[in-house]
Structure formats: structure tokens, C-alpha cells
Homo-oligomer: A and B are copies of this chain.
Amino acid sequence: MHAPNWKWFIEYTHPSQAHMYGIERYVYGGRTKYQYVEIFDTEFYGRCLVLDGKIQSAEYDEYIYHEILVHPALLLHPDPAKILVVGGGEGAVLREILRHPSVEQITMVDIDREVVELCKKYLGNWHQGAFDNPKVELLHMDARKYLENSKDVYDIIVVDLTEPLDDGPSYLLFTKEFYNIASERLAENGIIVMQAGSFNPHFIECHAAICNTLATTFAINRSFYAFIPSYDTSWGFAIASHKLDPVKLSADEVDKRLAERGIKELKFYDGETHLAVFSIPKDIREAKEREKRIITDNNPLITY
């Protein structure tokens, strides 16, 4: 028997659009130095992590978000060894990266130590112990400063940030200047991949602007997307590099590489899924073409 639905989390995506999630049990709520954190259990999506009022991931479908953020990039690279994760507090990005046997070192830079501690404590089904893996190095600092000062070179940079809210911690990690810095820290075959905003055609300007901005730095850049049930929307991702193009990977090649690497446990991603997520509906393609905005430090992206 379930607890009754008297308590609701209401997430507004627009002044006239909202989603109501029945809360079964409240687990945690509090303000860190950077953001307001809430963790609660729902009957429908299991445990949920909410930062600054925006749902970040839900127990029953986080596999979709985290598999799709990680595997297209790591599969595309022939031999990913050194990985940088920007953000990614839940630890599920680490979990997915660690499935690739060639990975030697993961540096995760998440500015909010308190959020990561809360995830370690309450989101065991997400990280599954990944934080304890000896390949993982965890830093709590501004990722942009880290990259500016680092001399390390990465095969893959995975950017898993909250949406750029007005007073949130992440809006300077979505700019042309940041992508330039990131590009300098990527190896020749290097790839950057990131969550990149709603894929709802009504909200596509943010995603389009991120893609435009990546294109100022990277010769190859592609949109992809997946429907995330707990977000109530299709969500966009962006992948960019100087040399490697995920659209050239066939479904068979994806399945072959997964088999070669011995990765069998994925629930969402495989060859056919690769085809699905990189095939973009016409309305979105056309909306992306119409949007010309470039995001800069002086003209940053702020979402609702």
C-alpha cells in the first residue's frame, strides 16, 4: 500500500504550464552554498533529486538520461582513457563511464560538495559505489577555473550541469568562452558532450543556441535527444569534436563496439537507439536553423 498523495511537488516550466508529482515520502530538503536541494520519493518515479526547483533525475528513468549522455560519446571514441566530468553530482555519469574498460582516469569537478555528499548518502541506486572506484578523482571547485589552470588533456569531457538559472551556479559553463577553454584541453580525437536543454519545439531556442555556440569552436557538432518521462519532455543533448562524427556510426557498428567492450547491461542505449536519438524531426531541424544566437559570457543563457 502506498502513502496517500497529499503532498505534491509542482514544477513550473512556464507561468502557464506545470507538472504535479505526488510525493510519497520526503527524504531531504536544505540549501547548500550554491543551490536548494530536495530529495523525495514518489510512487511513480521512485526517488527524485530536485535542485532549485527543477527535477534533475528520478530513480526509475535516470538510466535513460545517463546512458544517453555517456555512451554515444564514449563509443564514438576508439579508445577513451582520460575523462573529465563537469558536474554530475549523482555519480551516475561515473557509473556509466566506468563500464568502458579502456577508461583509466576520471576527474569529476562538481562545485557543490554538499550536493555530492547528499547524493552519496541518499542516491545509492544512482552511483552504485562509483565514487569509490580508484580511477575516480573528485574535485569541488569551479570547473571553468579548473580547466583554465589545468594542463591535462582529456579524451572526453562530459558536461552534466543544471540548467543555467539566473542565480544558479552553472550559467558561465554554457558560453563560447567556456567551450574554447574546453577545446584546448581536449586531445586530438577528443569529444565534448553535454545535456543541452529541452527538446520541446516550443523551447528549442536554448538548445539551438547551445549548438550554435559549440559550432563556433568545433567543426563537428550534433544534436541528439531522448524522451525522459520524469521530465515530461524530450530532452536535448549536444556532442562536438574536431574529428569524430556520431552520425557516421551505424547501428551495427554501435552494437559491435558495445560487444567488443563487453558492455551488456545497458537498458536504453544500443544500435537502434543510436539511430533514434540522432535522427532529428524536421520541425526541430528547421527551428534550429532559424535560431542564430551565440551564447557568450557577456550575453549568457538564462532559462526559466
Chain A residues within CB distance 8 Å of chain B: 2-11, 14-26, 29, 31, 36, 38, 40, 42-44, 50, 52-53, 60-61, 63-64, 199-202, 226-227, 229, 232-234, 251, 266-270, 272-273, 275-277, 279-283, 285-286
Contact = CB atoms under 8 A, between A and B. Distances in A.
Contact of A53 (B4, B20, B21, B40): B4
A6 to B, nearest CB: 4
18 contacts: A2-B16, A4-B52, A5-B15, A6-B50, A14-B44, A15-B22, A16-B42, A44-B202, A61-B201, A64-B283, A199-B227, A232-B233, A267-B282, A268-B282, A272-B285, A273-B281, A273-B282, A279-B279
Nearest to A281: B273
A19 B19 contact: yes
B16 A44 contact: yes
Nearest to A287: B267
B31 A3 contact: yes
A16 to B, nearest CB: 3
A57 to B, nearest CB: 15
B226 A202 contact: no
B279 A273 contact: yes
Contacts of A266: 282
